[in-house]
Amino acid sequence: MADKSAIEWTEATWNPTTGCDRISAGCDNCYALTLARRLKAMGSGKYQVDGDPRTSGPGFGVTLHPDSLDVPRRWREPRTVFVNSMSDLFHARVPVEYVQRVFAVMHETPRHTYQVLTKRAARLAKVSSQLDWPPNVWMGVSVEDGGQRARIDHLREVPAAVRFISAEPLLGPLPDLELDGIDWLIAGGESGSGCRPMEPAWVADLRDQCGQAGTAFFFKQWGGRTPKAGGRLLDGRTWDEMPTPRSLVAA
């Protein structure tokens, strides 16, 4: 599965796996599960939907798609690619050997920049040494509230060219973050039916922390019934800062 993306901080999506299940509060209104249900209803065989994201049930079944591994090799023009927008590459049901195959594709296509995002930061740190980390791979963790701060510590153990935090959906304040070794922070509110509100003070504080730490800050959206309902302005302007990969900084 590979598509152009409407996500503001990337250009395309690539899903060598699909499926996930609930691990924390940020999953409760999972957009991927909603989309998977819609795609399954339209006849897509890639999505095995089962359960409710607000429970500890299976969500939608984790499935490997080896037939999708070659997709980035066929893209001739460089792209910024969000890997597994419909899954979590570091889910326990994705074998390390398969993760290595995904990383091999990223290594063999240096013209692209790959953005990988996980909520399973402990497994990420555990298998990190078994992966070949090319300079075109950015690694991020989702941190939706203060209960998930440990994910940042796990992320710091990873030798990625860019390490980033996705504070989306931002469900609570994140004061006094330790941003040493973190190159980029994305913040955003929740959208869709049942979206939970985000306080402006939470976002402004993250922006200010990033400014003090020298971490690039990207504000994606306020959220609401639709992703664009609340707009993207924070204090009268957009915040679209992008990180500089560590290898370029050293050069």
pLDDT per position as a tens digit, 34-58: 666 666 555 665 655 554 444 333 3
Look at the alpha carbons of 41, 42, 44, 47 in this order and tell me if their dihedral is positive or negative: negative
CA distance 180 to 152: 10
**Chain segment 124-155, per-residue pLDDT in tens:** 999 999 999 999 999 999 999 999 999 999 99
Closest by CA position to 189, among listed 216, 136, 228: 228
